[in-house]
């Protein structure tokens, strides 16, 4: 598998709805592997296929908790409730962090790499990461949801 260059804003591919996956073949497995390697290389907690220039409904999420790596193909949010307001960034917007309101709980149905359906429920930061990546597949960027951006001083404090 390979680390791919990340597409940064502005780019049409980031604002175009992605196509559903129909073939669960070797190229899909390679795409998933490349996406995960790329996410880790750039210290992300999630990556959507359009961020490496592929307009397919594929995302990977790994926030470093006990859930581990989540591979989402053709994901759909089937339930969400509550709200959380917190900091959010994106590998396609290096250095940019803003405060974004998201649902606090989410239930997502998706296919795995073999084409088998599964559901995942999450709350807190994992729910935020899932919703951020699923937005990417619809060409929706977090900047359209930012309530306010953090300034440099606040960013330094967050980084410790």
| Shortest Å, Cβ 19 to Zn ion | 19
Tally the residues of the chain. Answer: 160
Query: Which C-beta is closer to Zn ion: that of 24 or that of 155?
Result: 155
Host H or E run for residue 117: strand 117-123
Structure tokens at 71: 């591979």
Query: Which C-beta is closer to Zn ion: that of 86 or that of 117?
Result: 86
Structure tokens at 137: 């597949």
In the complex, which residue's CB is closest to Zn ion?
90
Q: Is 133 assigned a catalytic role? A: yes
Is 114 annotated to bind a ligand? Reply is no
Residue pair 70/60 in contact by the 8 Å Cβ criterion:
yes
Helix, strand, or coil (residue 95): coil
Q: Would you tell me which residues interact with Zn ion (CB under 5 A)?
A: 90
Query: Which C-beta is closer to Zn ion: that of 18 or that of 90?
Result: 90
| Shortest Å, Cβ 25 to Zn ion | 26
- From the list 133, 152, 157, 159, the catalytic residue is 133
- What's the rounded Cα separation, in Å, for the pair 145 and 138? 14
Host H or E run for residue 28: helix 26-41
| Shortest Å, Cβ 134 to Zn ion | 11
Annotated binding site for Fe cation: 90, 132, 136
């Amino acid at each position: 598998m390979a680390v791919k260059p990340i597409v940064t804003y502005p780019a049409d591919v980031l604002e175009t709805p992605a196509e559903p996956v129909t073939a669960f073949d070797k190229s899909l497995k390679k795409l998933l592997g490349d996406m995960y390697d790329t996410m880790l290389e750039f210290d992300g907690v999630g990556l959507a296929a359009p961020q490496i220039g592929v307009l397919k409904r594929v995302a990977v999420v790994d926030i470093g908790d006990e859930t581990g790596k989540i591979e989402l193909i053709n994901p759909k949010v089937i339930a969400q409730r509550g709200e959380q307001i917190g900091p959010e960034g994106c590998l396609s917007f290096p250095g940019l962090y803003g405060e974004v309101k998201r649902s606090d709980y989410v239930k997502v149905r998706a296919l795995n790499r073999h084409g088998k359906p599964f559901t995942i429920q999450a709350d807190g930061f994992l729910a935020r990461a899932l919703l951020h990546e699923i937005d990417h597949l619809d060409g929706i960027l977090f900047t359209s949801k930012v309530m306010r951006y953090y300034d440099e001083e606040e960013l330094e404090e967050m980084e410790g």
